[in-house]
Each structure stands twice: as C-alpha cells, then as structure tokens.
Structure 1
C-alpha cells in the first residue's frame, strides 16, 4: 500500500505549509451566561458526510441532529467540483439546522439487570441514494440504520365539496357517491349486500367527503431501516463503514463483528481477544476503523497503546495481525500511570489510507502503515499535565477519551483538550505549526461581565490548600485548564480547512 497520488502528509516536497489563520465561523446551541446545561443535551458524537455538505451530531439523550450546508452555490454544486478547487482557498462555510430525530431510547436488560443508556456513541454516514441520506448510529448495545428523505406533504382539502362537483372532478369520491346499480327498498332507502354500502341514485346531498391533495411543501422524514442488536456483550465503542458500501464493523472491548447493511439478524465475529480465563485479560479493544480504500483491511487499537492492522483475506477469524504499530517506552520511565495514559482512545485513517492517526491521553501520533518501527510524528498535547496525573486520576479525568481527526489533504491533525480547547498541528515531519483555540467563546457576542470566580470543584480547592496554595488551574508555563470542561469530539471537513467541535451542548465551527 502506497500513498497514492492524493495529498497526504508526505506530499509536500517544498517543505511544510504555512500555519493557518483560524477564524470563528458559527455556533449552534450556544448557552447564555449562567445557563445550566442538561446532561441529555451534551453532544457525544460528530461526523461529516463524505461530501462535507452534511454534518450529524448525536447527544447523550439519544437524539441525532442533522445540519446542511447553505453556501454551496458560491463554489459549485457537487463534490467533484469541490475536489477540483484549490484546497488552500479560504472559505467561510455556513451550515443550517436541517432536522433531528430520536435514534435511541433508554432500555433495561432484565436478564443482566443492566441499564442501557440512550447516549449516541458513534455516527457514521453511508452512501446516499436517490436524494436520501443514510447513516448508522449506535449506543452501547444497539446499532441502527437510518434513512432521511424529503416527503411531499399530503393535506386534506375542503370538506364541503358538493357531490355533483366531486363527480365532475372524477375523483374517488364520485365512485362512492354515485352508485346507481344497487337495488333500492320500497321506502326509498338503501340496503347492503355483502357488507357493501349502497347509496341511493344521485347520492346523498348532505354527505361531505374529504379530498386529499399533495402540496408542493416537503417534510423531512427519518425512518429506521435496520436494527442490529444482540451481538455485543460489552459496550460498543466503534462502528466503521467499509469502502465496498455494503458492510461495516462494530467493536466492543473484546470483539469486532462484521455486518452486511442489508442483514440485521446475523454478523460474523472477525476479531476476538477474549481469553479463556478472564483473569488473563491484559488489554481491551478501544477503537476500530476500516481502511478508506481497501475493503479487506482494517485497524484496531488497544488499551496498551498498540495498533494492529489486519487483513480479512488471511482467515475468517483474524486472531493474527498483519502489522503491529507500537512505541516502546523509554527505560526507567515506567510509573503507576504509564499503562493508563498509553491507552489509545481514537484512531483515524488519512484520506488515502497510507497514514494513521492515534490519540492517547498525552499525545497524538501519526503512523505510516508501511513503517511499523515507530510513529512518523508525535505531537505533545497534555505534556503540561504530567505533574497533575495524580489529581487527574482522583477525579477520573485521566480516563477521558479524546477524539482526533486529520485534514482532507493530510497536512494537519487536530484533537481536543480541557477548558474547551482544541489544538491543530502541522502533520509534516518538520512542521512547527501548533495552534490552540478555545471553542467556548463566540467573538460575535458581546461578553457579559460576571463576577470572577474560579471554576474549580471543592476537591481541587482542597488539593490546592494541601499543596501550599498553588493554583491547580494553571501549570508551570501559565497554561490554564479546567477539568470540568473538555472538548472530546471534533471532526474535520473532508475537502476544506473547517473544523466542527463540541463544547458541552454547543456545536462550534471554525475555518481557515
């Protein structure tokens, strides 16, 4: 597998590109000062479709919200035109709310006495067809296949239409009203044969029938096409579409299953890391993704910081990997937190599939799948938090799962951090680009002056006293961070320098 002719990290022979100047684009669901965020409204998944014209978000309340792009006319009407234009041109993409639907509901597994949350863990777009949008969404246990399509609205016309006019229009009501071949009773009434209504000749003058007409208005309707359930004993952490357009994978802590989109009652277990004795368990699967071009190749990461590349052509059960990517720790650097911070929370393939990006708690790593000796580049994200690992462990922040993403041309990578910050790095081997932005402030909004008070929990304040009064919200370099606000989910537009990221219940968009 080589890099192909598309723009990926190695396709910049003249050196790294210049750093981008990021600007605020728009925000959806922005909170007012002092507004309390409901738990069910917090965004838990973000995904652009292949064209970048649609964006989907999922939240902890089980809802999926779709947004569509509104500025397409400025630069062509289809994805082919977008790909032909210069990627470096700065645009201001604009999206608007399209529709939303309830994807999952809370459930209870009575056999295991287990409550299943409605929270959307992942969203993946599928191929569009006949103007309809298709996507997969999953919570901890159940995957659903959705079709979103515009339907023309049918309305009931006037109810006071006269039978004579109805007969003249030749519609359905005329066949009901003017039934003249039926036998009549002597008193001028009507009878019924075989449960059929027999109307008198000329119809009933007082009868009023509704007439249904199709208006020019349309309404977006979301319909669940398939439900893929009862295939995972543990929580689903990943779903990924195959490039063949027919299959997808779902992964939990110990297994990866292969599904056909059209078959919901069976799946094939292709990876199983569950030991015979669970006491021998040393690592779990944390993320899995199909190769963007090769339908037989996929990668999955583990809690021990390794990434395995597997080939579905080798065997039905891929218990042996074709390549292993891992970075060996330096001698003498091992500590209590080593294994925890080594766990990979997310992996993403570059657009042409040669490069693979992984995110662990402290760093971003870029891997060349042709070189398994070590990462091509390592980007320090949370190195300033290393002195605080004990505090992070106490408040469980060390187990936060941050996502990562690559630009469509492979020149840059991005991931989130605390205080609703996200960081963008130059993906070129010699690039020094490192930009930090806060996705919780709208520069277009007038800032309200509020009494300043530290946004720290009681436990952090007591730790500050115990440590001699130092400020736990600022590191040695003066970088501020707030563990209670974290930017876990973000996505890069597939063809432009535009990033969508979630800060609690708000969706922020930036462009360069």
Structure 2
C-alpha cells in the first residue's frame, strides 16, 4: 500500500505492532454534583481541537461556544510558547483551562415554513489564526457564523477632572462654586478675580484633562460574517479547506461551497435531490475536505457509502471519482439493515490516505486507493444486534456517534452508551481494544478488551474484525444505560489526548 502522495506517513494499517496505550484521566469541566439536574441547554453537542492542539472549543444545545486553552508547558509541533508569559507550573500531563465563552446562535422561527430553528451548535471548525486572534466557524441547523476571538485592551479613565483633595467637603464642583459666589459684571468679569487672590485657591478645584489608560485586557468575540439562506434542510456538517479561503456546508441533499470573505453567495457543488422526491433513496450524512488536497472532498450517505469527489472534474460534482461501500453478506438483509448502515461521521486521517467512518454498529477504516472494501472493521455495538427492535422503539438506533483518529494514524476512537468510549489499534497485528468510562467517576480504571477472532467476509480482502463485545454489559459487568451516551469526542492533533463529552461534562484523557 504505497503511494498516495509525496511526504505521506506510512499507512495506518501497516507496520510493526504498537503497544497498547495506558489511558489516564486528566481533567473534567462542568461535572455535575450528586443529585444535580442537568439542563438540556448545557448538553455539549460539538467538540473540536484547533490545528495546534493548544485550543479546544465546545458547543452546546443552548447555542453557546466555550473555548479552552492549553496551560502546561510543552513543545507543540516544533514551536515553543513564550515562557515569560506563563504564570503556571509545569504539568505532567496535558492541562487546559477555561478561556472564554460567547453566545453563537439564538433560537429562531422561520415564518415562511412555520418552522422553529434550534440554537443547538451542530458543528465547530477552527480556521487559520492571524495576528494573535482566533477564528472559527459554528453552525446550527440553518445558519453558519464566522467568529473572531481576540484580546482587547480595556480603556479606563484614571484621572478625573476634579481634584478631590482641593474640593469642598461634599466633593461637588457646583457646591464649591455656590459657596464662594461673587457678583459678576455685565461683560461676565468678576469683581474679585480668583486669579488675583491666591488665598482663594481652595474654593476652586484644580482642573485636569482626563487621562485614558489601557491596563487590563479582555477577550472579545465578534461575529465577522453570517452565512445563511443556502440550505433548505438541516446542516449536518461544515469543513474547512486546506487553502484557508473556502469551506463547505452540507445538508441532507446538497453540499455548498463558500468563500470565507463572501457571505451572500455560495456555489452548489453536490445535489442529490431527485426530480421526484418519492424516488429519494439516500441522503447525505456528513462531508469532509481532504486535509491537504484542496480539490478533493468526501461525503457519506445513509446507505453506508462514501463518495470521493474531485472539484477539478466539473463545477457540479454529482458524479463521484471513487465510491467506497461494503457489500452485503447474502441473506443478511433485515428491516434494520439500512438504518444501522447509515454513516453518522467520517474523518480523514492526517496524512489524507485513509478515511474513518462510523455507522451504528462499527468503525471502518478505508484506504482511498482501494475501493473494494474497508481495510479494517472494528466492532463497537455488535452486542446490540439482538436488541435492535427495542433500540428502534426508543429511537436510540438513530443516535449519531462521532469518530476520530490519532495524529499518527495508529489508533481510532469512538463513543458508545453508558458514557463509554473505545480506542482501537489500526495496525494489522494490533490487538488493542480499550474501553474507558467518561463518567462522574473519572478515576475508574480502564479495561483492556481481549482481541476477538476475525470473521471471514467472502471476497473482501484483508478485512479485520476486532473488539466485538457481545456481553451486553460494560467493563464493570453493569448493564448498559442507553440514556447516557457519549456521542462527541476529538483526538488531539499531535498527542495521545482525547476530549469527550458526556452530557454537560467535558472529560479529558491522556496516554
């Protein structure tokens, strides 16, 4: 599996075995106390590290974006922070602190369609920084906003006009004037000028020009642009281009291309809407730009397929350059087949060679140079197969779990129920399959899951199936809780550190 571009890292599924990581709890933000009720608006709905990993953003159902910044002294990707500005001690593990928050979206009402538009943040994407300012995109179902977060100096008046030491007891200029009132001539001159009577200085306060100083700094979030009126359906994803100038937004049927500087115009590059909506068989579920090639992007569908498109081929990319999908095993089709095949999230590996996809039951790793099938499959919810009917009844089968890859491409991770998340090794000889609970007991020890035997899938080459857990219980033998689910997580771009959201709490783990 060679090729794929100059300077790319080794493929994620090759190489010698990588020893399993020992994951440890690092931090928690917003953890509720015993008996505390969580407000729905506080539930986290999006997580994203910036390119350096020094900043982390979360969005919630209340339309707020909260920013965190790295505080431990480390060398990140070849650049070192200015140590003179740091007022904290060296940490032995990655450490973040609250930076600021702002209200990104408000609830709206579409009067033409009689439709309420939620303020919930669906996705956050970091843009390139400039002049010390942070830039990011956030979106709800209909509106994308471009934000600039920057430190501003707070201006204060440090010297007032009135010198209090020379004013009267009540400190009022008017009072001192009235207390020493003098008869004035018709031309406005005073018979007894205070200038000629130095002894009367105490009756007139000395006057100063006000002095404005900038001493304190404050973080200010300002909305630079609003991109709206371009989607008839709910926006499910946004993705920045590597050119730093454009981004895409995707809903169920269309993908639009935007320029960051132009908010009133976008270009429709993918349109899967049929002439007759009764002929609709699949919808777009996620879209992502290639990390280095600005002309390539991939999007997934509710049928479990991933399409790779090249913007150089045509202005309207309804035809794909490559199609990635797994063939159904004969006789395996059921009522739930299409529902559980729907892909909820896709991510490109940092090297751009692989795509990770998450459907309801599993994680799949695809090589963009091999469209015959996934190079690896990791079972996440295989134990739930006998319970699909119950999951359909309570709508849990429609939960959209996200996925992520490590920066070196050696591992993948995704969430599950009971606030669990799972980490798998990607190399062919790896047996790593670790389950951790991000819960109100964050010090709970992780459990190393044993490797599972591979299953043959007919003609599909080199497919690995590992980590299936059919016990129907969590790492501690407890039955799974389908009301608590870990949907959102992100992997630090250059270190083995994971941020994950369980309800309103943000948990940080490192290895």
* Range into which the TM-score falls when normalised by the shorter chain: 0.7 to 0.9
* 1:193 corresponding residue in structure 2: none
Aligned pairs (5 A) from 1:189-338: 211-338=210-337
Q: CA deviation at 1:429?
A: 2.2
* 3-state DSSP of counterpart to 1:24: strand
Q: Do 2:158 and 2:213's aligned partners in 1 also have CA atoms closer than 8 Å? A: no
Q: Do 1:248 and 1:258's aligned partners in 2 also have CA atoms closer than 8 Å? A: yes
Q: Do 1:133 and 1:147's aligned partners in 2 also have CA atoms closer than 8 Å? A: yes
**340 and 429 in structure 1: CA distance in 2 versus 1, 3 angstrom threshold:** same
Q: CA deviation at 1:210?
A: 7.4
Q: CA deviation at 1:441?
A: 3.4
Q: CA deviation at 1:16?
A: 2.0
* 3-state DSSP of counterpart to 1:385: helix
Aligned pairs (5 A) from 1:9-28: 9-10=11-12, 13=15, 15-28=16-29
Q: Distance in 1 between matches of 2:324 and 2:128?
A: 31
* 2:429 corresponding residue in structure 1: 430
Q: CA deviation at 1:158?
A: 3.2
* 1:111 corresponding residue in structure 2: 112
* 2:368 corresponding residue in structure 1: 369
Aligned pairs (5 A) from 1:15-414: 15-71=16-72, 73=73, 75-76=74-75, 78-81=76-79, 92-161=93-162, 186-188=186-188, 211-414=210-413
Q: Do 1:4 and 1:352's aligned partners in 2 also have CA atoms closer than 8 Å? A: no
Q: CA deviation at 1:432?
A: 1.1
**162 and 236 in structure 1: CA distance in 2 versus 1, 3 angstrom threshold:** same
**299 and 187 in structure 1: CA distance in 2 versus 1, 3 angstrom threshold:** same
Structure 2: runs of 5+ lacking an equivalent = 81-90, 167-184, 190-194, 197-202, 445-470
Aligned pairs (5 A) from 1:471-490: 474=473, 480-490=479-489
* 2:177 corresponding residue in structure 1: none
Q: Distance in 2 between matches of 1:102 and 1:142?
A: 14
* 2:509 corresponding residue in structure 1: 510
Q: What TM-score do you get using the length of structure 1 for normalisation?
A: 0.83
The two structures, once aligned, show a CA RMSD in angstroms of 2.7
Q: Deviations over 1:137-191 (max 9, x none)?
A: 000000000000001111122324459x9xxxxxxxxxxxxxxxxxxx95318xx
Aligned pairs (5 A) from 1:450-489: 474=473, 480-489=479-488
* 3-state DSSP of counterpart to 1:388: helix
Q: CA deviation at 1:62?
A: 0.2
Q: Do 2:65 and 2:104's aligned partners in 1 also have CA atoms closer than 8 Å? A: yes
* 2:495 corresponding residue in structure 1: 496
Q: Do 2:161 and 2:210's aligned partners in 1 also have CA atoms closer than 8 Å? A: no
Q: Distance in 2 between matches of 1:306 and 1:258?
A: 21
Q: Distance in 1 between matches of 2:221 and 2:210?
A: 26
Aligned pair count reads 446
Q: Distance in 1 between matches of 2:96 and 2:403?
A: 22
Q: Do 1:24 and 1:442's aligned partners in 2 also have CA atoms closer than 8 Å? A: no
Q: Distance in 2 between matches of 1:213 and 1:444?
A: 50
Q: Do 1:366 and 1:376's aligned partners in 2 also have CA atoms closer than 8 Å? A: yes
* 1:451 corresponding residue in structure 2: none
Q: CA deviation at 1:427?
A: 1.1
Q: Deviations over 1:488-508 (max 9, x none)?
A: 000000000000000000000
Q: Distance in 2 between matches of 1:363 and 1:6?
A: 27
Q: Does 1:2 pair with 2:1?
A: no
Q: CA deviation at 1:474?
A: 4.2
**443 and 139 in structure 1: CA distance in 2 versus 1, 3 angstrom threshold:** closer
Q: Distance in 2 between matches of 1:489 and 1:97?
A: 19
Q: CA deviation at 1:3?
A: 5.7
**215 and 322 in structure 1: CA distance in 2 versus 1, 3 angstrom threshold:** same
Q: What TM-score do you get using the length of structure 2 for normalisation?
A: 0.83
Q: Distance in 1 between matches of 2:443 and 2:366?
A: 39
* 3-state DSSP of counterpart to 2:159: coil
Q: Do 1:6 and 1:409's aligned partners in 2 also have CA atoms closer than 8 Å? A: no
Q: Distance in 2 between matches of 1:55 and 1:3?
A: 30
Q: CA deviation at 1:34?
A: 1.4
Q: CA deviation at 1:431?
A: 1.4
Q: Distance in 2 between matches of 1:244 and 1:325?
A: 26
Q: Distance in 1 between matches of 2:507 and 2:318?
A: 41
Q: Distance in 2 between matches of 1:340 and 1:235?
A: 19
